[in-house]
Every structure is written in C-alpha cells, then in structure tokens.
Amino acid sequence: MDDAVMSSAALRMPTSLRRALQWAGSGLALIGLVFVAFRLRSYWFDLDFSRVNSLLWVQFSGLVLIYGAANLLPILAWRNLLIYLGASVTRLATIRIYGMSQLAKYIPGNIFHLAGRQALGMAAGMSAGILAKSIILDLSTMAVAGSLFGWLIMPILLPGFLELAGVLLLFSSAVFMVVILKKTSGYPPVWAFFWHMLYLAISGAVFVALLILVAGVEGTSSFFCLTIGGVYIVAWLIGLLTPGAPAGLGVREMILLLLLEGIIDDVDLLMATLLGRLVTVVGDLVIFMAISSIPANIWDCRKVMPKNVR
C-alpha cells in the first residue's frame, strides 16, 4: 500500500503563502530547539553525577535510541488518521512534518507543535480543514489510549486490587476499543490506536528500565513493573492534557512523585524522573536532527494515487 496524494486544489496554493507557512513551521521548530537547549542545561545541573557511572551512561544512551525510534510510532498513527480523512501527503512528507514540528512542544503554551504541524502541512499542500481534524483526532486517540493504562495503577489507588486484574482490564478494554473503531470507522483509526498504544507501552517500559538501573527494583514482580509503567503513562497523559505546560513539564514529574511516594525511595525516584525527562528530550532532539539532516528534495515525493487508498 503506497502513500496518499496531494490534492490538485492544494497544489494551486500561491508560492508566497506556501513559503510563509514553511518559514512559520520551521521557525517554531527552531524556537523549540532553543527551549530544548535550556531544558537540557537545567536537567544536566540537577543530576547527581556521583551516582552515574560509565555503564549507566551506556545504558542511558541505548534507552535514548529506543525512545527516539519509538517516536516514529505516533507519526504512523497520525498518517493513518490522515488517510482516514482522505488527506493527500506522502509517507516521507508525513515524517518530516511531524518530526520537524515536535520540538515546538517545549515552548511554553503546549500548542506550538500543533501550530507548526498545521503550518508545515499546509505548506506541503494539505487541506487546512483535514489537518485540523487530524490533529484533533490524533490527540483524542492518544488520550483514549493513555487513559486505558489507568487500569494498571489501580493497585496503588485501591489497596487489595490485584495487579493481574489491572492487566486483564487493560487488555480487554483495548480489544473493545479496536472492535468499536473497526465497526464504526474502519482500519486506519484502528491502526492509529494501535500505534499510540505501542508507543505508550514503550515509553512506560523505558521509564521502568531507568528506575531499575537507578534503584535496582528488578527483584519486584513483573506485574508491579507494569504498575510502575502505568503510573508513568498516566502522568504523561495528565501532562499532555494540562494547558500551558510545555511537553507536560513539571506536571508529569509531580504526578510521578505523588503516586510513587512511599513505594520507591524519594532519592531514587527523583533521579529516575530526571533521567526519564532527559531521555525524552534527547530522543526528540535525535529525531529532529536526523530528519533535518536529510536533503529537502528527498522529502518532496508527490505521487498521484487513487484518492481512497487506505
């Protein structure tokens, strides 16, 4: 199955407007890069380097690469939603638009990455209306996927609640959502939901791995590790939905500390939380730099395909 196409109406966009939109989207990305630099500097000075040895740095680098690669999954999710809406953009252009705009989420306001995606998408010849709808659908699908992981934290909220029960409820809820989406909307939204679920699962696993490296909690049960991963995903979701918080900054960390207080040692939890934020920021930066290093002409691959290809 190949990529969807540029609509003929979108291709008639004035060159001056397209150039302005490209500058706007790229400008937001560059501003985001500045904020990322300040954020990295802040995290660097907050870390207790006496606890970080060379082996931990090697393992940390591996987790950065895993998280960076996982960032392709939300792009796949967004592309499926674009296809569902009848959008006209190539696969490579989708990667560029999403990847170039993501750093702007670190700008205070928590909306500029969405504005950048809209601007770059329109500059690529996509319908403004379809772009806006796709962004709303993308956030909604991501929020629903994240909320399902809330089942995993029930043992913390309700003492006596079995960890296995939370896992089974998560699985059954996900299957239910897939069935509903398939019956009402077809396969593209199902795939979008799946890619978001997988991305969140990997993100939670990366945080659990960091906590194990820092605190050595590998002796605990695998179900308890799933609970910790669920706490991270719920904290991430609350940060995502908090207006004005750039990339959920501060909100995610606060929720993590509140939910895991008394379960994980405060010093270990704070260290893992700081390293976790460092992983996400560097991972986003890696994707941005990788996309930016590819010549622009490679992204410009406008192929005319049947409009309803999905």
Quote the pLDDT of residue 148. Answer: 96
State the maximum Cα–Cα separation within the chain, in Å, rounded to a whole number: 63
The helix (H) or strand (E) run that includes residue 33 is: helix 15-46
**With pLDDT > 70 as the criterion, what percentage of the chain qualifies?**
71
Quote the pLDDT of residue 8. Answer: 39
What string of DSSP letters covers 226-277? HHHHHHHHHHHHHHHHSTB-GGGTTHHHHHHHHHHBTTB-HHHHHHHHHHHH
What mean pLDDT, rounded, does the chain reach?
A: 76
Instruction: Give the predicted TM-score (pTM) of the model.
Output: 0.78
Q: Which residues contact 294 (CB under 8 A, 6 or more apart)?
A: 96
109: helix, strand or coil: strand
Identify the residue with better confidence: 82 or 46. 82
Nearest to 93 by CA among 299, 291, 290: 299
Identify the residue with better confidence: 296 or 3. 296
Quote the pLDDT of residue 152. Answer: 93
Q: CB of 25 within 8 A of CB of 101?
A: yes
Identify the residue with better confidence: 30 or 282. 282
For the stretch 19-28, pLDDT in tens is 554 444 445 4
Quote the pLDDT of residue 3. Answer: 38
The mean pLDDT of 106-123, rounded to a whole number, is: 77
Does the structure show a pLDDT above 70 at 210? yes
Does the structure show a pLDDT above 80 at 209? yes
Does the structure show a pLDDT above 90 at 190? yes
Identify the residue with better confidence: 255 or 193. 193
Question: Rounded to an integer, what distance in angstroms lies between the CA atom of residue 289 and that of residue 282?
Answer: 10
Token pair listed for 163: 């960890």
Does the structure show a pLDDT above 50 at 176? yes
Instruction: Band the pLDDT of 241: cuts 50, 70, 90.
Output: confident
For the stretch 144-175, pLDDT in tens is 999 999 999 999 888 888 888 999 999 999 99
Q: How many CB atoms lie within 10 A of CB 72?
A: 15
Most confident of 4-8, 37-41, 179-183: 179-183
Token pair listed for 48: 């207790």
What string of DSSP letters covers 71-85? THHHHHHHHHHHHHT
| Amino acid letter, 172 | S
Provide the 8-state DSSP code for 49.
G
